[in-house]
Chain A
Amino acid sequence: MFINLLNPVISGAVSKSMTDEEAIELYLATQNANYFNILYDRYSPKVFGKCFSLLKSEAKAQDAAQEIFVKVLLNLSKFSGKSKFSTWLYSITYNFCIDMIRKNKKNIGVLVDDINAFGDEVVDEIDDSEIMETNVKRLKVVLNEIPAGDKAILLMKYQDEFSIKDICGILNKSESAVKMKIKRAKEKFVKTYKELYKDVA
């Protein structure tokens, strides 16, 4: 029998008050797709937005969002609840988009570098505020100029405010490797910004 995702039965008030974990638990217990609908309605705009931001195409973002939710639906029983559901979902989103970009391009930046043997000490000289307080229009331009891998790691850190530990889990890298990747992405961002806006600044 096909799962009907287009037939919401649970009332809006109930779905709003239900936590992600409750919805997952009820979906796994009952296989009622309406519980999955709650999660879909809650997170699909953000997932689509992230896909669009990384893949830069509405059609590709649509395909990616669809495949990501199918993956999530099929692997929901594997969600352990150690992290928040949103973190788990966004990690699937980022990994899926990075894989998609990797298939099309060879060089996507720091995420492709297979460097795990960093020293323990990573000295990050660029202040977070320098990047976070960038003018929004310029931020958009610079993020579209830098490699997708660098963009993804900056979005994880500043847009989703993931902890280093979360990013380690998403990228399956050590803490020192992640710190180094963030440092390099920040350097790339600042360098690109200076190249683009050297006359304006």
Chain B
Amino acid sequence: MRNSFKELEKEEMQNVSMPSDAIKKGITSDIGILKFVSTIVEMYFPKIADLFVGLSGSDVNTQKSKKPNRYPDLN
């Protein structure tokens, strides 16, 4: 059976020139921005979290000092 849809697809792909490099550059740029933003978030999120803890009235330094004892006294 003839499939005009396939023929139409071929025809359209021949008639339209795809700006391949422009699209590739756009993808590279978008991914670059996303990576940059995620790096920034990764770097500063703990500090921002500390800031909110501080603003809520708690002492960030006190929170940090409550680390578990690495060498517990077993006696």
Interface size class of B (residues with CB under 8 A): 20 to 34
Decide: A159 and B8 in contact? CB cutoff 8 A: yes
A85 within 8 Å of B (CB atoms):
no
Q: How many interface residues does A have (CB within 8 Å)?
A: 39
Partner of B4, one of A40, A58, A134: A134
Decide: B2 and A2 in contact? CB cutoff 8 A: no
Decide: B9 and A49 in contact? CB cutoff 8 A: yes
Query: Interface digits, B3-45 against A, CB 8 Å rule (1 contact, 0 not)?
Result: 1111111011100101111111111101110110000000000
A window 146-181: CB within 8 A of B = 154-155, 158-159
Interface of A is mostly: helix
Decide: A3 and B32 in contact? CB cutoff 8 A: yes
A192 within 8 Å of B (CB atoms):
no
Write out the residue numbers on chain B whose beta carbons fall within 8 Å of the beta carbon of A132. 1-5
* B interface with A by C-beta (< 8 Å): 1-9, 11-13, 16, 18-28, 30-32, 34-35
* A interface with B by C-beta (< 8 Å): 1-6, 40, 44-46, 48-49, 52-53, 58, 61-63, 65-67, 69-70, 73-74, 128-129, 132-136, 139-140, 143, 154-155, 158-159
